[in-house]
Chain A
Amino acid sequence: MLVVMKPSATEAQVDAVVEKIRSLGLLPHAIPGAQRTAIGITGNKGGLEPSLFEGMPGVREAIRVSQPFKLVSREMKEEDTVVDVAGLALGGSRIVVMAGPCSVESREQILEAAREVKAAGATMLRGGAYKPRTSPYEFQGMAEEGLKLLALAREETGLRVVTEAMDVENLAMVADYADMVQIGARNMQNFSLLKQLGKIARPVLLKRGASATIREWLMAAEYVVAHGNPRVALCERGIRTFENATRNTLDLNAVPVLKSLTHLPVVVDPSHGIGIRAHVPAMARAAVGAGADGLIIEVHPCPEKALSDGQQSLTPGEFAGLMAQVKVIAGAVGRPV
């Protein structure tokens, strides 16, 4: 349930509502908004009676939230959430481009990639230090050494860093170095990890599971928010279908559907979504056309020598070309990049 306060409500009246929610054994969640103060309620087993709150001073209305996801739903919070990533706004009118190699491989590689993507207009650097590889025999990432190199690249370029945390054990360390913590597709329903993400002081980029419905994905985001961290962005990266001409099937339907169901920012990963270097720019354009708030693109100084995902990584030159195309579409939908 969502309790909406009148614009004229006093702090004492808000506190009284919070107190009443607690006295019922339920959890209050302040929903920040420019237009109104509202308090979300979770923890109830069945439906609550609006009359419990509607008589209270300062309360405008109490609304039942029909979706199973509550805190992340547009019913609870109408305005778009703008996630603050170390001073960079993700989810506002400006489209944020994150770019960099699949894996951090060496000092030279990450620094060169960082300089190149920055020069082309990216504002965030991606790069995996912990890699969830299908085969246990493949390169698993540089671990903490990789995180240090990402921090070095940030220092040198000013780019914000997004990198993946794979488990509860390394989460605190990843959060120490990263500006945004990425949760990979394979961990979308790792609920112990999601709960821990609720406790960290960093924003989270939650990728969609390869076979996850939009509803399951939003429930996963709800875990993070319900456990205390409202700074969550969603990332569509392609789903598993029968089609084998492409690595995944990028579900761009999800972009407008999510934007109507949730207030969280939506980022699209066309590199994994199609998995074919030549077609990444077309899908990046399509994502922006569909209304995405950001893009995450794999870029490697030498894709043919990459330790992972070389077939879908762009060269710096190709990435600069993609940025030019994306800017044109972004301009057409009235959004700067």
Chain B
Amino acid sequence: MFIAMKPHATQADFDAVIEKVRSLGLTPHPISGTERRVVAVVGNTGAVDPDDFAMLTGVAEALRVSQPFKLVSREVKEEDTVIDVDGVQVGGRAITVMAGPCSVESREQILETARAVKAAGARILRGGAWKPRTSPYEFQGLREEGLKLLALAREETGLKVITEVMSTDTVDLVAEYADILQVGARNMQNYALLERLGKVKKPVMLKRGLSGTIKEWLMAAEYIVAKGNPNVMLCERGIRTFETATRNTLDINAIPVVKSLSHLPVIVDPSHGIGIRKHVAAIARAGIAAGADGIMIEVHPKPEKALSDGHQSLAIPEFAELMREVRVIALAIERPVT
């Protein structure tokens, strides 16, 4: 259920609503929008009559939320959520570009990539320090050493840093270094991790599970928000289908569908979504044209020597060309690229 306050409701009116929610044994989640203040009510609201709230002073309306996800739904919050990543806005008019190598491999590699993607116009640097590799025998990441190198690259270039956190025991460590914590596809329904991320002060990017339906994905986001962290962005990275000509099937349908169901920003990862270097740009254009708020692209100074995902990583000049193509599409739909 959610309770929307009238524009001129006082703080006392608001507090009275919160008090009443608590007295019923339910949890209030205040949501501030520019238009109006809303209180989402979480818990077993089956026996509660919305009219009991609608008659309180300062309340405009009290409605049940029809979707199983509440705090992340557009029903509860109509306006787009704009996430402030240490000064870079994600989810506003501007399209956010995140780029960098699949894995942080060395000081030289991450610094060279960071400088190049910055020069081409990216604002956020990606790079994995903990890598969820299918095979236990493959490169697993540089761990804390990788985080330090990402921090160094941030210091040198001013780029913000996004990197993956794989388990609850490294959340604090990763949060110390990263500006955005990424949850990978394989962890989309790792509920212990999601709950722990609800307590973190940094924004979270939640990738879609390989077989996660849109509803399951939004429920996973709901876990993080319900536990206290409203700064969640979603990332479509391709789903598992019968098609084998591509690594995954990028579900671009999900972009308009999620944008209509949820107020959270939607990022697209065409690198994993198609998995073929020469086609990444076409799919990045499609993602932007469909209404994505940002793109995440794998870039490596020497893709053929990359320790992971070389076949889908762009060389630096290819990334610069992709940025030109993306800017043209973004301009056509009147969105700047940052």
Which of chain B's residues have a CB closer than 8 A to the CB of A241? 239, 241, 249, 251
Contacts of B239 in A (CB 8 A): 241-243, 249
Among residues of B, the one whose C-beta sits closest to the C-beta of A330 is B332
- Taken residue by residue from 271 to 285, chain A's Cβ proximity to chain B (1 for < 8 Å, 0 otherwise) reads as 001101011001101
Are B255 and A282 in contact, with the CB atoms below 8 A? yes
> Cβ of B289 and Cβ of A239 under 8 Å apart?
no
CA distance A255 to B243 in the complex (A): 13
The answer to whether B285 and A213 touch across the interface, beta carbons within 8 angstroms, is: no
With both chains docked as a complex, state the minimum distance between the C-beta of B336 and any C-beta of chain A, in angstroms: 14
Among A238, A276, A278, A287, which residue has its beta carbon within 8 angstroms of that of B286? A287
Interface string of B229-247 (1 = CB under 8 A from A): 0000000001101111110
Given A246-B253, A285-B289, answer yes or no on A252-B244 (Cβ-Cβ < 8 Å). no
| Residue interface bits A204-217, CB-to-B below 8 A is 1, else 0 | 00000001011100
A215's nearest neighbour on chain B, judged by CB, is B245
Q: Is the CB of B252 within 8 A of A250?
A: yes
Tell me, yes or no, whether A251 is within 8 Å of chain B by CB.
yes
Which B residues are in CB contact (< 8 Å) with A285? 289-290, 333
Docked pose: A215 CA to B244 CA in angstroms: 9
Interface pick from B57-65, B98-106, B187-195, B211-219: B211-219
Q: A283's contact among B211, B256, B282, by CB below 8 Å, is which?
A: B256
| Chain B residues whose C-beta falls within 8 Å of the C-beta of A278 in the assembled complex | 256, 260
Give the Cβ gap from B200 to chain A, nearest Cβ, in Å: 29
Mark out the residues of chain A between 212 and 253 whose CB falls within 8 Å of any chain B CB in the assembled complex. Answer: 213-215, 238-239, 241-246, 249-253
Partner among B214, B242, B279 whose Cβ is within 8 Å of the Cβ of A213: B242
A238 nearest CB neighbor, chain B only: B253
**Which of A243, A332, A333 is B213 in contact with, Cβ under 8 Å?**
A243
Q: Are B249 and A282 in contact (CB under 8 A)?
A: no
Question: Beta-carbon contacts of A319-337 to B below 8 Å, as 1s and 0s?
Answer: 0000000001101110000
Stretch binding the partner chain, chosen from B43-51, B126-134, B270-278: B270-278
Closest chain-A Cβ to B185's Cβ sits at a distance in Å of 14
**Minimal Cβ-Cβ distance residue in A for B243:** A213
Q: Is B279 touching A260 in the complex (CB atoms < 8 A)? A: yes
Contacts of B246 in A (CB 8 A): 253, 257
Which residues in chain B, 147-187, are within 8 Å of chain A measured between CB atoms?
none
A286 is an interface residue with CB less than 8 A from chain B? yes
B67 to chain A, nearest CB (A): 11
Q: Is B287 at the interface (CB under 8 A from chain A)?
A: yes
Q: Is the interface of A mostly helix, strand, loop or mixed?
A: helix
Cβ A253 vs Cβ B250 within 8 A: yes
Taking CB atoms, residues of chain B closer than 8 Å to A250 are 252-253
Determine if A289 is an interface residue (Cβ-Cβ < 8 Å): yes
Q: Separation in Å of the A80 CB from the closest CB of chain B?
A: 15
Residues of chain B with a CB closer than 8 A to A274's CB: 253, 256-257
Give the Cβ gap from B166 to chain A, nearest Cβ, in Å.
25
A257 and B241 within 8 A (CB): no
- B248 smallest CB distance to A (angstroms): 8
CA distance A257 to B245 in the complex (A): 8
Residues of chain A lying within 8 A (CB to CB) of residue B333: 285, 328-329
Write out the residue numbers on chain B whose beta carbons fall within 8 Å of the beta carbon of A329.
289, 329, 332-333
| B325 CB, min distance to chain A CBs, angstroms | 8
Whether the pair B283, A260 counts as a contact (CB closer than 8 A) is no
Cβ–Cβ contact A249 & B249, under 8 A: yes
Q: Does B331 contact A (CB under 8 A)?
A: yes
Residues of A within 8 A of B276 (CB): 257
Tell me if B288 counts as interface (CB < 8 A to partner A).
yes
Q: Which residues of B are found within 8 Å of A57, using beta-carbon distances?
A: none
Q: A273 touches which one: B215, B245, B253, B291 (CB < 8 A)?
A: B253
Q: How far, in whole Å, are A239 and B333 apart by their CA atoms in the complex?
A: 28
Q: A241-B239, A245-B257 are in contact. Are A283 and B215 (CB under 8 A)?
A: no
What residues of chain A lie closer than 8 Å to B254, measured between beta carbons?
243, 245
A256 and B290 contacting across the interface, CB-CB below 8 Å? no
What's the Cα separation between A245 and B68 when bound, in Å? 14
Instruction: Tell me the bound Cα distance from A243 to B216 in angstroms.
Output: 10
Is B249 within 8 A of A239, CB to CB? yes
Q: Is the CB of B243 within 8 A of A286?
A: no
Say if the beta carbon of B55 comes within 8 Å of chain A.
Answer: no
Contact A244 B213 (CB under 8 A): yes
B239, B276, B286 — which one has the most chain A CB atoms within 10 A of its CB? Answer: B286
Q: Mark A53-78, 1 if CB is under 8 A from B, else 0.
A: 00000000000000000000000000
CB < 8 Å neighbour of A245 from B214, B249, B289: B214
State which residues 73-104 of B face A: CB under 8 Å: none
Question: Across the interface, which residues of A come within 8 angstroms of B285, CB to CB?
Answer: 289-291, 333
On chain A, the residues within 8 Å of B24 by CB distance are: none
CB-defined A-B contacts under 8 Å, sample of 9:
A213-B244, A239-B242, A249-B239, A274-B256, A278-B260, A289-B286, A289-B287, A329-B329, A332-B332
Residues of A whose CB lies within 8 Å of any CB of B are 211, 213-215, 238-239, 241-246, 249-257, 260, 273-274, 276, 278-279, 282-283, 285-291, 328-329, 331-333
Binding site for A on B (CB under 8 A): 211, 213-215, 238-239, 241-246, 249-257, 260, 273-274, 276, 278-279, 282-283, 285-291, 328-329, 331-333
- When A and B form their complex, which 3 residue pairs have the shortest distance between CB atoms, in order from nearest? A289-B289, A286-B290, A290-B286
Please name 6 further chain A to chain B contacts, defined as beta carbons within 8 Å, in addition to the given A274-B256, A285-B290, A291-B285, sorted by A numbering.
Answer: A243-B239, A245-B253, A245-B257, A253-B245, A329-B329, A329-B332
